[in-house]
Chains A and B, each alone.
Chain A
């Protein structure tokens, strides 16, 4: 049919789905809505959208369960709509594989920005990641074999763990990474509660990478949740 990106909106609040449908359509997206996780999952399997926006608290199958079910069959980007005070559920959703979140109430711009970023990331070839020896992202140039890193053309020296952390960040640019996810990926499953490890290494990385450590522009903190890496343009 058309080459418009398809977005599935899952929310039990009919007024919000109404607004999002219109708002997203006006930006050239093809939109469908579902009122709960069950209907959402069904719509996903029939329609194969490019992105899913889902509320967390819903009757029947909630947002968390939807994330779980979607991740079992697909790598589709998932953006979670959550409310302040739902931090725990939000982190759970991100750990289950959601890519990003927007906190209610939100402006349509904020949501659109997240939608664009998630779609861009999904489109980028993540194919031969293992065979790749050079990572080029924004201000960063990383040689995986010689383990050399340059930021804005300047070579910097990283310890092995810092190097691994940076590579992980670059490979998941733009995505919200929970403390748990990062700890599990870099230190292993036994260390998922050791937030202080992460704080130390992120602190060191920032000192070496950021032009201004106090106002980081690459490694951004998502309070109570984790970090988001922005390689710059």
Chain B
């Protein structure tokens, strides 16, 4: 097929040139035929180009070099022209055919590379998706472990206490007699009482966290005074701060803030509770509130405890993370539920504020700082907030 087209093409060109008759000279004819050969070479490749070259040479000789309509050639220079034509046609044809082939190969290669790249990218995407899924599964199971541990630990103490008491009441004893004095009984009951409270606190925390994460933390924002928020928290924290000095430093003429007072007071309470828990008796807890620019106020609660290593300062806001247990910060102090700071962060961020941890004065202790925008008269509706940082799926 390609050869037929090549032959036809040369034929047509020859015919057209012949029709033009005397208006064309030998140079024009040779250029036109050469062009034809080049066209065939780029279109159909080297072999049709070779056939076209030979055909064109024959046509050139037969029709355009005197004596016409014979393959004889009279003048020597025409012989040279014919040979030059043939050599040029063949060479140019082959070169352009090869160039075309290279171009095609390059195109193919490019397509192959693009295809491979696409496959690779898809594979990467699938792999990273699987990795993310695996990570989230791992996180989920770690969270589940943390939660079950926190539920089971108080339950274990309760169960052991109750069965000890029951044994005594029932007078059941396989070997040694049970001698549980009044003091021991009270102690068992105290353990049950305290551990039930602990369970209840833990469950309340879980509910609050779940609410924040589900975006169901309804803030009831209204104008409130910073000192009132702090004093509410302090009143509540009174039993746990009895053995500490509490220092208050509230800047004069602080503007009111448009916040959910109850929620922010909860945050302040959590911070005071932590400060009291993780610093020794008799040390000072310092609560500061002041302006932070025109738009917001900044509050902080600082203790003189052991402090939190800087690499753990972000992680303590992760839910269920406890510096005292998970962060290799070993102390004899009680560890919390690992939820207080996560909840605090949720509440502060719901107010478009920020919360972070720094070292206390003289690079000792812990200072937890948060900012709250003073608030805008125009914001009327309650903000429904979804905490992106502590999402639970």
B271-296 residues with Cβ-Cβ distance < 8 A to A are none
Stretch at the interface among B17-25, B187-195, B204-212: B187-195
A122 interface residue (CB < 8 Å to B): no
Most A C-beta atoms less than 10 A away, residue of B154, B163, B177, B332: B163
Chain B positions within 8 Å of A83 at CB level: 148-149, 152
Question: Would you call A85 and B160 a contact (CB within 8 A)?
Answer: no
Report the minimum CB–CB distance from A88 to chain B (whole Å): 13
Chain B, interface size category, equals: 35 or more
Our pick among A22, A23, A105, A109 for the contact of B155 (Cβ within 8 Å) is A105
A2 interface residue (CB < 8 Å to B): no
A155 interface residue (CB < 8 Å to B): no
Our pick among B157, B164, B177, B325 for the contact of A15 (Cβ within 8 Å) is B157
Report the minimum CB–CB distance from B233 to chain A (whole Å): 27
Chain B positions within 8 Å of A85 at CB level: 145, 148
A91-131 residues with Cβ-Cβ distance < 8 A to B are 104-109, 111-113, 116
A59 interface residue (CB < 8 Å to B): yes
Interface string of B248-277 (1 = CB under 8 A from A): 000000000000000000000000000000
Question: Would you call B174 and A22 a contact (CB within 8 A)?
Answer: no
Question: Would you call A109 and B153 a contact (CB within 8 A)?
Answer: no
The residue of chain A having its C-beta at the shortest distance from the C-beta of B149 within the complex is A83
A18 interface residue (CB < 8 Å to B): yes
Our pick among B152, B161, B178, B179 for the contact of A19 (Cβ within 8 Å) is B161
Question: Would you call A106 and B160 a contact (CB within 8 A)?
Answer: yes
The residue of chain A having its C-beta at the shortest distance from the C-beta of B179 within the complex is A26
Chain A, interface size category, equals: 20 to 34
Chain B positions within 8 Å of A20 at CB level: 160
Question: Would you call B160 and A16 a contact (CB within 8 A)?
Answer: yes
Could you tell me the distance between the alpha carbons of A28 and B174 in the complex, rounded to whole angstroms? Answer: 13
Chain B positions within 8 Å of A111 at CB level: 160
Could you tell me the distance between the alpha carbons of A27 and B173 in the complex, rounded to whole angstroms? Answer: 9
Question: Would you call B159 and A18 a contact (CB within 8 A)?
Answer: no
- Given the interface pairs A26-B178, A27-B176, A28-B176, the reply to whether A19 lies near B164 with Cβ below 8 Å is yes
A21-46 residues with Cβ-Cβ distance < 8 A to B are 22-23, 25-28, 35-36
Our pick among B148, B149, B163 for the contact of A109 (Cβ within 8 Å) is B163
B377 interface residue (CB < 8 Å to A): no
Chain A positions within 8 Å of B194 at CB level: 15
Our pick among A28, A59, A108 for the contact of B163 (Cβ within 8 Å) is A108
Q: What is the predominant secondary structure among interface residues of chain B facing chain A?
A: helix
Question: Would you call A22 and B152 a contact (CB within 8 A)?
Answer: no
Could you tell me the distance between the alpha carbons of A139 and B187 in the complex, rounded to whole angstroms? Answer: 43
The residue of chain A having its C-beta at the shortest distance from the C-beta of B162 within the complex is A107
Chain B positions within 8 Å of A108 at CB level: 160, 163-164, 167
Question: Would you call A15 and B180 a contact (CB within 8 A)?
Answer: no
A60 interface residue (CB < 8 Å to B): yes
Could you tell me the distance between the alpha carbons of A14 and B334 in the complex, rounded to whole angstroms? Answer: 9
Question: Would you call A26 and B149 a contact (CB within 8 A)?
Answer: no
Our pick among B156, B157, B164 for the contact of A26 (Cβ within 8 Å) is B164
A13 interface residue (CB < 8 Å to B): yes
Could you tell me the distance between the alpha carbons of A59 and B158 in the complex, rounded to whole angstroms? Answer: 22
Question: Would you call B148 and A15 a contact (CB within 8 A)?
Answer: no
The residue of chain B having its C-beta at the shortest distance from the C-beta of A39 within the complex is B332
Question: Would you call B178 and A105 a contact (CB within 8 A)?
Answer: no
Chain B positions within 8 Å of A23 at CB level: 160-161, 163-164, 188
Most A C-beta atoms less than 10 A away, residue of B157, B158, B177, B332: B157
Could you tell me the distance between the alpha carbons of A15 and B159 in the complex, rounded to whole angstroms? Answer: 12
Could you tell me the distance between the alpha carbons of A15 and B152 in the complex, rounded to whole angstroms? Answer: 13
Could you tell me the distance between the alpha carbons of A168 and B198 in the complex, rounded to whole angstroms? Answer: 46
Could you tell me the distance between the alpha carbons of A14 and B160 in the complex, rounded to whole angstroms? Answer: 13
Chain A positions within 8 Å of B157 at CB level: 13, 15-16, 18-19
The residue of chain A having its C-beta at the shortest distance from the C-beta of B330 within the complex is A59
Could you tell me the distance between the alpha carbons of A118 and B317 in the complex, rounded to whole angstroms? Answer: 44
- Given the interface pairs A19-B161, A116-B175, the reply to whether A26 lies near B168 with Cβ below 8 Å is yes
- Given the interface pairs A59-B330, A85-B145, the reply to whether A15 lies near B174 with Cβ below 8 Å is no
Chain A positions within 8 Å of B168 at CB level: 26
The residue of chain B having its C-beta at the shortest distance from the C-beta of A28 within the complex is B176
The residue of chain B having its C-beta at the shortest distance from the C-beta of A25 within the complex is B184
Question: Would you call B330 and A60 a contact (CB within 8 A)?
Answer: yes
Could you tell me the distance between the alpha carbons of A114 and B176 in the complex, rounded to whole angstroms? Answer: 14
Our pick among A15, A106, A116 for the contact of B154 (Cβ within 8 Å) is A15
Question: Would you call A26 and B154 a contact (CB within 8 A)?
Answer: no
Question: Would you call B160 and A105 a contact (CB within 8 A)?
Answer: yes
Chain B positions within 8 Å of A19 at CB level: 157, 160-161, 164, 188, 191
A residues lining the B interface (CB < 8 Å): 13-16, 18-20, 22-23, 25-28, 35-36, 57, 59-60, 83, 85, 104-109, 111-113, 116
Q: List 25 A-B contacts (CB under 8 A).
A: A13-B157, A14-B334, A15-B191, A15-B195, A18-B157, A19-B191, A22-B164, A22-B188, A26-B179, A26-B180, A27-B173, A27-B175, A57-B149, A59-B328, A83-B149, A83-B152, A85-B145, A104-B155, A104-B156, A105-B152, A105-B156, A105-B159, A106-B159, A108-B160, A116-B175
